[in-house]
Amino acid sequence: MANIKATSSATTFRMETAVAVNIKASADKIMSLLTNASEFTKWNSTIVSLNGQIKQGEKIKLVSKLDPKRTFNLKVSAVTPATMVWKDGFAPMFSGVRTFSLTPKSDGTTDFSMIEVFKGIMLPLIKGSLPDFKPNFEQYALDLKAAAEKQ
């Protein structure tokens, strides 16, 4: 099993959680997993449900095991072969942006990273009610690695 450690940092109006892992698969294979909404819950144990199409400009509804009573209404603001971005919230009050990045390596593997940034003037009021995202991010990366490396 891969040793994956998520990191977190926070200031008064900004909170970030990140994870990274090297995956023995092509960026294309990984991005196809990340953008296939109908198969998402089959490989990703951190997600209860994901509805919609993961395409640029589309809206998706995601329920996470971190907070299964809440549905996140996310906008897919970017999808390229190397990057995907999901957004939620109402800037400048409170917003969340999750960025997925893929960096192909010369040995045929791909470095995957996922960063979630919450920011806004309401963050100091709600920061204490937010869960610790690190274990969820670590499991997400492990699940993606396992699914992408399957033959």
The string of pLDDT tens digits covering residues 37-96 is 999 999 999 999 999 999 999 999 999 999 999 999 999 999 999 999 999 998 899 999
Question: So what's the pLDDT on residue 38?
Answer: 95
**What structural domains does the chain harbor?**
14-149 (3.30.530.20)
Q: Which amino acid is at 58?
A: E
Cα–Cα nearest to 77, from 85, 66, 69 = 85
Mean pLDDT of 22-48: 97
Whole-structure pTM value: 0.94
Question: Phi and psi at residue 121, in whole multiples of 5°?
Answer: -70, -15
Question: So what's the pLDDT on residue 141?
Answer: 98
Mean pLDDT over each residue of the chain, to the nearest integer: 96
Tokens for 99, please give them: 């960025």
- Report CA dihedral (45, 47, 53, 57) to the nearest 10 degrees: -120
Band of pLDDT at residue 150, cut at 50, 70 and 90: very high
**Residue percentage of the chain with pLDDT more than 70:** 98
CA pseudo-torsion sign 81, 64, 20, 40:
negative
